[in-house]
Amino acid sequence: MPASALDSTIFRDIFSTPQMREVFSDEYRTACYLEIEAALARVQGRLGIIPEDAAREIESKCRIENIDFSQLKAQTERIGYPVLGVVQQIVALCEGDLGEWCHWGATTQDITDTATVMQIRAALELIERDMEAVAAGLADLARRHRDTPMAGRSNLQQAVPLTFGFKAATLLAAMQRHRERLKELRPRVLVGEFGGAVGTLASLGADGLKVQAALMQELGLGQPEIAWHTVRDRIGEVACFLGLLTGTLGKISMDVKLLMQTEVAEVFEPFQPGRGSSSTMPQKRNPVASLYIHATTALVRQHVAALLEAAVADHERSTGPWEIEWIALPEIFLLASGALAQTRDLVNGLEVDAARMRANLDITKGAIVSEAVMMGLGPYLGRQRAHDLVYDICREVAKTGTPLVELLARNPDISRHLSRAALERLCDPAGYLGLAGEMVDRVLARER
């Protein structure tokens, strides 16, 4: 009976994805254990460390269909770890005493950590796929709305104009940085572990590093330069990466929620019949995806903090911090996958109301371009005098509702320097977009 939202039949595909759940399932994790044990036997048989017939027999029994999960559950509860239970089942399946060579020279943590890295490798492939889809959606928005003017906002107040393409491109640039982070961290993170009891490979004598190198080659993982049983920066780095990535997704959801407000109504989540409706208010169109993105990304950050506790481990094999990872790491990936899936669909189907954006630029009667006016008057009046004069006029605009351009044109200190036509140009929000378009182009050029 599922008890959490991540496993709930009702909620699980809102907060995570089937593909990511599979990667962190009991079956996938156990299959990784078996793949490692089979590869270890194969390598050791090839190097003459264990008998070749034992290696073949062990490898033949390392099949997920051979594992009794009810028995494994009981073994894990008794022993405290699942790896030994898996090994015991393999040994029992092998002919004669050939199975006794299984797990030769390894320790539980070698298999557990290497399996975790294999899960991370598969999970990062899913993460990357959805990152690319989000980036593609943002690139399309930046391209289509390169020159679509809208209000830039500071402290939730209209500040100066920008373009919706610029807004999308700032987020796209963040996704590009996340892409670089992912590329950089893979060689550091996708490194296996095989060190024996305290990491010195003493159980294999002079053959230890040869076995380690061959095993990692078999598994397609990097070879560690030294054991990392209780030095957990690799796991911490991938978690922190997901914290940064989902922080950007949370930013996207926050802006969409605010822009969907009735009084703003500049963008909308993709329309689906009945989605976001209220049980009592038929007119409502709630930002459902953004709500879920906000929730999942907040939880990712909390789990990252918990997981980093595992970095404070005692001596060469820890007494508890390690187990934090067993809980936190899968949930970080599951929640991140849910946030990415919701964001992917959101940005690729986002509805943009360019006309409403333009209309909202006019609600301050021109005050949104007061900076442009101040800068235009600065050469004639001096910056501070221009600032104070425009400030007083903007207060009059707010009080009377008279358009800014009208009050500017009536002021003799201004009209003697700037014509009505010049003032109208200064008061056009679409004319005060700075280098937004050029910056959008730079981000899009990186995408191409």
Residues designated catalytic: 278, 317
Residue 216 CB partners (closer than 8 Å, separation 6+): 191, 192, 194, 222, 223
Q: Which of 289, 418, 296, 405 is nearest to 342 (CA)?
A: 289
Contacts 24+ apart (CB under 8 A), 5-8: 6/331, 6/334, 6/335
The 3-state DSSP class for residue 401 equals: coil
Tokens, residue 26: 């009991």
167 token code pair: 């807004």
DSSP 8-state class, residue 65: G
Q: For residues 313 and 285, is the Cβ–Cβ distance under 8 A?
A: no
**Residues 409 and 417: beta-carbon distance below 8 Å:** no
Residue 116 CB burial class (10 angstroms; 0-12, 13-18, ≥19): buried
- 350 and 267 in contact (C-beta within 8 Å)? yes
